Amino acid sequence: MHEYHFPTAIKQMNRVQWLTLDSTRLCEIPEELGNLFKLEHLSLKHNKLEKLYGELTELTCLRSLNLRYNQIKNSGIPEELFRLEELTTLDLSHNKLKEVPDGLERAKSLLVLNLSHNQIESIPTTLFIHLTDLLFLDLSHNRLETLPPQTRRLANLQTLNLADNPLELFQLRQLPSLQNLESLNMRNTQRNLLNFPTTLDSLSNLAELDLSKNMLPKIPDCVYNLHNLKRINLSENAITELSSNIDSWQKLEVLNLSRNQLTSLPSAICKLIQLRCFYLNDNLLDFNGIPSGIGKLCSLQVFSASNNVLEMIPEGLCRCGALKKLNLSSNRLITLPDAIHLLEGLDQLDLRNNPDLIMPPKPSEAIKGSGVEFYNIDFSLQTQLLLAGAAVPTAVPAASSTKDSTARKIRLRRGPRAESNQDSAKILKGMKDIAKEKDESLCLNDDMQPESLKPKRWDESLEKPQLDYSKIFEKEDGKSPGLTVWEIENFLPNKIEEVAHGKFYEGDCYIVLKTYCDELGQLAWKIYFWIGNEATLDKRACAAIHAVNLRNYLGARCRTIREEQSKYI
């Protein structure tokens, strides 16, 4: 193999600013580089350089220097290199450094420093005294056992990579000082519950966290307090369960829990409405381990759960309308829900290594009454009103005050995402379950008089709904002082546990009943319905409708109040 000869003519190109000499089999720095006085960016990746002596240190305008994938040793780096005042980016990764190069602390203008994939065993205490402008620091794949206390001086640091270092006895007490940190990689750093940095939640800007390939039996509590997380990798640990506090990650987009020991997921995980990619490969999940409400993950595009013990998957998973990739390989699948055929956006479906799997037949128009036709129906208020033949509303009936009989019509103002400004509305046509519970006496028969066939106005029907309230609300509701909270789910109010009171989500709507004793010692009520800013129109309408139902169920001695995305009731 012939060595590359640097073209001597390039010394005449003294105005060049960018120069790339990657993979050119260079064994030394060409002397001709000394004539490139305007050079700002130089890349020498994938060569055979052992020493940097030559004309390199005379490039006074040099701003970035990439030397990764060479054979550079400490003895081959001149200290003068770090006196270049314009040098802001330095990549010495994938070389043969056993120590931090002498004089590196003098490179005060550095913003990006990559020393990864070397054999460095320690960081000198002087290194970070002057490098306080660093934004990116990669120390991964070395032999570090600790970091110097001066690490806390890196107040501007945004990315810190410590992966693949034997940091077992190091507790990262410097972390709270790194307030601008957005990305932290602690993969394979021997983290366990005893040496885990409990102050991690002080990093309020942290958006990306890698804790993979450690020894964590559970997710530390402080990690749940990182409310701005967008990506977290917890794969290759020993995690057996997840806390319900996982719903605090409301901005999370990517969650990797592969290669753990999970047998079930908490229902709170269905609150992660921003989640796009969910990886659960190589766990112990069965059908009961996946919450039925997983269909609420409206942003989910990738769901990967290969090598588990799944015999079936919840039908709710087939209601994730954004799903593009579904990996269920190497499980025990017997069949899949019929609705799997209705995932129109699904690009990749991996069902390999499920020997007993029998795919359900595709539903056809001839199959009626099976229930399959109700999947992927648009249950939004706007669509259902159009199907019912009504104009799209700007107002739906809402709450009232008992003092004014003319104010008994409840009004639900459309949110900021309203798409039309019509004047009338009708009750949701798509509320099939509720419709079944209406009194059979409402059905038309041959004995009815023509006058009874006269259609009622939509607001009259809503003001006096013909519903059996005992099938919607329980007998004890409103019978003793206290608070009762319902979340609107599948068009019906679903009572939530007392421990979850006060934790509302932007994508949901709630009804809150306050029962108290008035001045005469008699029971009285106040009804609130809380509308989340991100809630769908059907949930908004149902919150108002069922607030009216609850008022009628309890009687006239109560008030109904709307709350628009307020923090507290």
Q: What are phi and psi for residue 164, nearest 5 degrees?
A: 55, 55
The whole-angstrom separation of Cα 556 and Cα 537 is: 27
Beta strand extents in 292-443 (DSSP E only): 302-304, 325-327, 348-350, 395-398, 410-413
The residue length of the chain stands at: 569
The H or E element that residue 489 is part of is strand 482-489
The whole-angstrom separation of Cα 384 and Cα 392 is: 9
Per-residue model confidence as pLDDT tens for the chain (569 residues): 445 556 666 666 777 888 888 888 888 887 777 678 888 899 999 999 998 876 788 888 899 999 999 999 998 999 999 999 999 999 999 999 999 999 999 999 999 999 999 999 999 999 999 899 999 999 999 999 999 999 999 999 999 999 999 998 887 888 888 999 999 999 999 999 999 998 999 999 999 999 999 999 999 999 999 999 999 999 999 999 999 999 999 999 999 999 999 999 999 999 999 999 999 999 999 999 999 889 999 999 999 999 999 999 998 899 898 999 999 999 999 999 988 988 889 999 999 999 999 988 876 643 434 444 444 444 445 555 555 555 554 433 333 333 333 332 333 223 333 343 333 343 344 444 444 444 443 343 444 434 434 444 444 444 444 556 666 788 788 888 888 888 888 778 888 877 677 778 888 888 898 888 877 777 888 888 888 888 888 788 888 888 888 887 777 555 555 555 543 33
In order, the DSSP letters of 521-549 are S-EEEEEEEEE-TT--HHHHHHHHHHHHH
Q: Counting beta carbons within 10 angstroms of the beta carbon of residue 501, is it exposed (0 to 12), middle (13 to 18) or buried (19 or more)?
A: middle
How many Cβ atoms from other residues are within 10 Å of residue 270's Cβ? Answer: 18
The candidate with the shortest Cα–Cα distance to 36, out of 7, 72, 79, is 7
348, amino acid identity: Q
The whole-angstrom separation of Cα 492 and Cα 510 is: 11
pLDDT in the model for residue 470:
67
Is 383-439+449-569 in the same CATH topology as 1-105?
A: no
The whole-angstrom separation of Cα 330 and Cα 428 is: 43
The whole-angstrom separation of Cα 242 and Cα 221 is: 10
Q: What is the topology classification, in CATH, of domain 1-105?
A: 3.80.10
**In Å, how far are 40, 170, 214, 258 from 304, measured between CA atoms?**
45, 34, 21, 9
b or e along 83-116 (b: 16 or more beta carbons within 10 Å of the residue's beta carbon)? Answer: ebeebbbbbbbbbebeebbeebbbbebbbebbbb
- Under 8 Å CB-to-CB from 406, ≥6 apart: which residues? none
User: Using CA of residue 541, residue 545, residue 550, residue 555, what is the dihedral sign?
Assistant: positive
pLDDT in the model for residue 429:
41
Q: Which two tokens stand for residue 165?
A: 């270092």
Sorted by where each begins, the domain ranges of the chain are 1-105, 383-439+449-569
CB-facing half-sphere around the CA of 217: CA atoms within 13 A: 3
The strand pair at 41-43 and 18-20 is best described as parallel
The CATH number of 383-439+449-569 is 3.40.20.10
HEC string of 543-561 equals HHHHHHHHHHHHCCCEEEE
Q: ∠ CA 32-38-41 to the nearest 5 degrees?
A: 85
CB-facing half-sphere around the CA of 30: CA atoms within 13 A: 21
pLDDT in the model for residue 557:
55
Determine the straight-line distance between the first and last CA of the chain, rounded to whole angstroms: 77
335, amino acid identity: T
The whole-angstrom separation of Cα 429 and Cα 561 is: 25
The whole-angstrom separation of Cα 279 and Cα 183 is: 20
Question: Residues 291, 319: contact at Cβ < 8 Å?
Answer: no
